Chains A and B, each alone.
Chain A
Amino acid sequence: MFKIVEKKVLGQDIKLLRIEAPDISKKARPGQFVIVKIGEKGERIPLTINDFDPQKGTITIVFQEVGKTTILLGRLNEGGVIEDLVGPLGKPTEIEKFGKVVCVGGGVGTAVIYPVTRGLFQAGNQVIGIVGARNKDLLIFEEEMKAFCHRLVITTDDGTKGHHGLVTDVLKQILAEEKIDRVIAIGPTIMMKFVAKTTEPFGVPTIVSLNPIMIDATGMCGVCRVNVGNETKFACVHGPEFDGHKVDFDLLMGRLNQYKEEEKIALTTL
């Protein structure tokens, strides 16, 4: 049983939960994830860790309510409990001094690129942040990102805040103007696909964090398999971060859509 000690509403259907998990908080690193399961009949879903505080013994997750489990998670309140929380899982983000890096966060992925950005900033990199969302109500972690970016650019699809357009517009311009040593992108699969496409002609190493369906998340079931450089990898143990130029994003998107019908049925049971 893991107790919820803080709950915040960050944006439209986007919520933050800080959870008491002393052992996980001591081991968690940027880029790692946890498995969450609610109730006896719940499914196991992976959520990348937003933050961790070994002193307070807590970890923080941020999620958008899109399916039954995230909706149920969003209904929990301070003082409530999550039955099953497993982690930290996956490999942490490689954090070292690369030089000049761009951290791209899209939608709820911004909560996850935040600790990566902080780590890269603290490792002495020049950090440019690009944060994108569909509209200003879905923008999250802007202030937090600002604290660890030498420069932060906001984009919205509808132009309600910052640059009117996509993160890739801004990224392309930066790549054309400056020498960038590494790009890290975390967000919707389609965004990561186009970030990788944008950086490829510039030859800039690009890391993406993949979010396939998982069950055990320890390398046992293989449902999270992704194609990277024509090799099958398990995102749960070999990732979740991979070389974005080698990932077969279309395959990943197809696999993510496998249970769309069942996801709709599950919503009717809420």
Chain B
Amino acid sequence: MEDKEKKPKKKIVPYKTKMLEQPPKERVKNFKEVPLGYSEDQAVEEATRCIQCKNRPCVEGCPVEIDIPDFIALIAERKFVEAARKMKEKNALPAVCGRVCPQEVQCESKCTLGKKNEPVAVGRLERFIADWERENKMVQVPPRPAPRGKKVAVIGAGPAGLTVAADLAKIGFGVTIFEALHKAGGVLVYGIPEFRLPKAIVQAEVDYVKSLGVEVRVNAVIGNLFTIPELLSNGYDAVFIGIGAGGPMFMNIPGENLNGVYSANEFLTRSNLMKAYLFPEYDTPIKRSRNVAVVGGGNVAMDSARTALRLGADDVYLVYRRSKDEMPARAEEVHHAEEEGLIFKFLTNPTRIIGDEKGNVKAMECLRMELGEPDASGRRRPIAVKGSEFTIDIDALIMSLGTNANPLLPTATPGLGLNKWGYIVANEETGETNLKGVYAGGDIVTGGATVILAMGAGRKAARTIEKYLS
């Protein structure tokens, strides 16, 4: 009895501290961020839920190995500056990761507390501390290490490239990132919408990476402007390829080239990178369509559908050939989209797109599907129901079927090992390709995956490059 009084067992709080969100009816009319973030008190309250268990399984669940219990403990003690510094030791892009990482299958899925209750809201805390540091102007540039006299070229300023660059710059390597677009950030700027990841936040994190001494050269299409052999013979000691999996996939059904049919890449690039949702203040136009169908079931499909809703569509349909359970999108994204009025058409597969006399899309013919035996992906294979054709009237169609490897750089790099789909063959633990001094990571190696996995690949490649150049 006495013992218990000395060491009172910490009371478990079963639920995550709630984070406020813009109400669905309001947010569907703007491009502002949906979740509003924690206040200091809410963050402290949530951080206090962490039981600081000894085996720290959450760290294992993090592809960039953030010292999660340590930064959470610092938040609980209201040592916000220290918490931010702790996080930045392992992650140069915390405000991004706190928003777009699938924590539910990573750190939070391993949380000891999560076995019987809701796990600690690691993602929300990560976001809080990154935002707190930025908003309070406490972002600090670590002192520059002694230069090592070696230079690394990083191709692509997306999550993988920014991570490699930050890691190598922090230990004294000279780093230049070559970015094909006019803005750094990769999928964070062209793909993920403002309402999920405000671009000013991406810019702040890119600026942080630059402040570490990384040079970012935009408008540089490697393969065309310079080749990898040219970079290696013109002052760079190693090259990291992090160009993403850029090519859009189409279904190869009739009518796909009609006006009003977009790849998700095009639709999102117009809206996000080019800010076409602000047309004509910005010069790039986007159609304000009335009835929009999005084909696909991933996060990109959700982003496309929610963008279409915000552009003022009356009805947006999500057309997916399997059922809700098989959707690859994060549950949170599906939930948000549902709240905003997205109409789901499950077990539906488009067979042809019908145009009017002017070449504009006016309808889509679909077949109903049913689920059969599991296929190679482990998901039940959709089978067409004969004679079940029906049409949906639409004036815009967005194909969000995944991406394929963009051959531009690989084909301009003699001898670079590719697999049969055109992705670069690289050791997933080290980033090594078959070419000496050439490393690769992220979607161009794995195929379309997540921001954090690309960052993890960048981290591993940076370690290998450090060894190679030491």
Picked from B182, B218, B257, B279, the residue with its CB within 8 Å of the CB of A232 is B257
Known: A43-B284, A84-B182, A254-B259. A24 touches B225 (CB 8 A): yes
Picked from B218, B248, B281, the residue with its CB within 8 Å of the CB of A84 is B218
Q: In the complex, what residue of chain A is closest to B267 when comparing beta carbons?
A: A221
Distance between B261 CB and nearest chain A CB, rounded to angstroms: 9
Q: In the complex, what residue of chain A is closest to B355 when comparing beta carbons?
A: A254
A219: B residues at CB distance < 8 A: 246-247, 406-408
Distance between A261 CB and nearest chain B CB, rounded to angstroms: 9
Q: In the complex, what residue of chain A is closest to B230 when comparing beta carbons?
A: A27
- B406–A220 CB distance below 8 A: yes
B250-291 interface code vs A (CB 8 A; 1 in, 0 out): 101000110110110110011000110001111111010000
- A41–B182 CB distance below 8 A: no
B142: A residues at CB distance < 8 A: none
Known: A41-B275, A266-B280, A266-B283. A221 touches B263 (CB 8 A): yes
Which of A94-102, A104-112, A201-209, A222-230 makes up part of the contact surface? A222-230
A262: B residues at CB distance < 8 A: 279-280, 285, 287
Q: Interface size on B (CB < 8 Å)?
A: 41
Q: How far is the CA of A20 from the CA of B219 in the complex (A)?
A: 14
A25-60 interface code vs B (CB 8 A; 1 in, 0 out): 001000000000100011110000000000000000
B262: A residues at CB distance < 8 A: 222-223
Asked whether B224 is an interface residue with its Cβ less than 8 Å from the other chain, the reply is yes
Distance between B469 CB and nearest chain A CB, rounded to angstroms: 25
A258: B residues at CB distance < 8 A: 259-260
Known: A227-B257, A255-B257, A262-B285. A218 touches B221 (CB 8 A): yes
Q: How far is the CA of A219 from the CA of B246 in the complex (A)?
A: 7
Most A C-beta atoms less than 10 A away, residue of B225, B226, B274, B408: B225
Asked whether A243 is an interface residue with its Cβ less than 8 Å from the other chain, the reply is no
Q: In the complex, what residue of chain B is closest to A32 when comparing beta carbons?
A: B224
- A68–B257 CB distance below 8 A: no
B284: A residues at CB distance < 8 A: 43-44, 215
Q: In the complex, what residue of chain B is closest to A42 when comparing beta carbons?
A: B283
- B408–A218 CB distance below 8 A: yes
- B221–A68 CB distance below 8 A: no
Q: How far is the CA of A87 from the CA of B221 in the complex (A)?
A: 7
Known: A41-B282, A43-B283. A27 touches B257 (CB 8 A): no
- B247–A37 CB distance below 8 A: no
Q: How far is the CA of A263 from the CA of B257 in the complex (A)?
A: 21
B224: A residues at CB distance < 8 A: 27, 87-89
Asked whether A10 is an interface residue with its Cβ less than 8 Å from the other chain, the reply is no
- A232–B250 CB distance below 8 A: yes
Asked whether B358 is an interface residue with its Cβ less than 8 Å from the other chain, the reply is yes
Q: How far is the CA of A262 from the CA of B285 in the complex (A)?
A: 6
B424-436 interface code vs A (CB 8 A; 1 in, 0 out): 0000000000000
Asked whether A85 is an interface residue with its Cβ less than 8 Å from the other chain, the reply is yes
Q: Is the interface of B mostly helix, strand, loop or mixed?
A: loop
Asked whether B359 is an interface residue with its Cβ less than 8 Å from the other chain, the reply is yes
B220-259 interface code vs A (CB 8 A; 1 in, 0 out): 1100111000000000000000000011101010001101
B327: A residues at CB distance < 8 A: none
A: contact size bracket: 35 or more
Q: In the complex, what residue of chain A is closest to B276 when comparing beta carbons?
A: A43
B354: A residues at CB distance < 8 A: none
Q: How far is the CA of A83 from the CA of B183 in the complex (A)?
A: 11
- A86–B408 CB distance below 8 A: no
Asked whether A23 is an interface residue with its Cβ less than 8 Å from the other chain, the reply is yes
Asked whether A142 is an interface residue with its Cβ less than 8 Å from the other chain, the reply is no
Q: In the complex, what residue of chain A is closest to B403 when comparing beta carbons?
A: A220
Q: How far is the CA of A43 from the CA of B284 in the complex (A)?
A: 5
Q: In the complex, what residue of chain B is closest to A90 when comparing beta carbons?
A: B224
- B285–A266 CB distance below 8 A: yes
Asked whether B13 is an interface residue with its Cβ less than 8 Å from the other chain, the reply is no
- B221–A86 CB distance below 8 A: yes
B259: A residues at CB distance < 8 A: 254-255, 257-258
Q: How far is the CA of A24 from the CA of B224 in the complex (A)?
A: 9
Picked from B220, B250, B274, B358, the residue with its CB within 8 Å of the CB of A215 is B274
Q: In the complex, what residue of chain B is closest to A215 when comparing beta carbons?
A: B269
Asked whether B181 is an interface residue with its Cβ less than 8 Å from the other chain, the reply is yes
Q: How far is the CA of A218 from the CA of B407 in the complex (A)?
A: 10
Distance between B392 CB and nearest chain A CB, rounded to angstroms: 21
B221: A residues at CB distance < 8 A: 86-87, 89, 218
A223: B residues at CB distance < 8 A: 262-263, 266
Distance between A40 CB and nearest chain B CB, rounded to angstroms: 9
Q: How far is the CA of A44 from the CA of B218 in the complex (A)?
A: 14
Asked whether A251 is an interface residue with its Cβ less than 8 Å from the other chain, the reply is yes
Q: How far is the CA of A43 from the CA of B273 in the complex (A)?
A: 10
Asked whether A237 is an interface residue with its Cβ less than 8 Å from the other chain, the reply is yes
A173: B residues at CB distance < 8 A: none
Asked whether A265 is an interface residue with its Cβ less than 8 Å from the other chain, the reply is yes
- A221–B257 CB distance below 8 A: no
Q: How far is the CA of A227 from the CA of B252 in the complex (A)?
A: 12
A227: B residues at CB distance < 8 A: 257
- B250–A216 CB distance below 8 A: no
Known: A41-B282, A86-B219, A232-B256. A221 touches B408 (CB 8 A): no
Q: Which 3 A-B pairs have the closest CB atoms?
A: A262-B285, A254-B359, A221-B266
Q: Interface on A for B, CB 8 Å cutoff? A: 23-24, 27, 37, 41-44, 68-69, 83-89, 215-216, 218-223, 225-227, 232, 237, 251, 254-255, 257-259, 262-263, 265-266, 268-269
Known contacts A219-B246, A220-B190, then 10 further A-B pairs from the complex at CB < 8 Å, ordered by chain A residue: A37-B182, A41-B275, A44-B182, A215-B270, A222-B262, A222-B263, A222-B265, A232-B250, A266-B285, A269-B281
17 chain-A/chain-B pairs, Cβ below 8 angstroms:
A41-B281, A43-B274, A43-B285, A68-B283, A83-B182, A84-B219, A87-B221, A215-B266, A220-B248, A220-B406, A221-B269, A222-B248, A222-B265, A226-B257, A262-B285, A265-B285, A266-B279
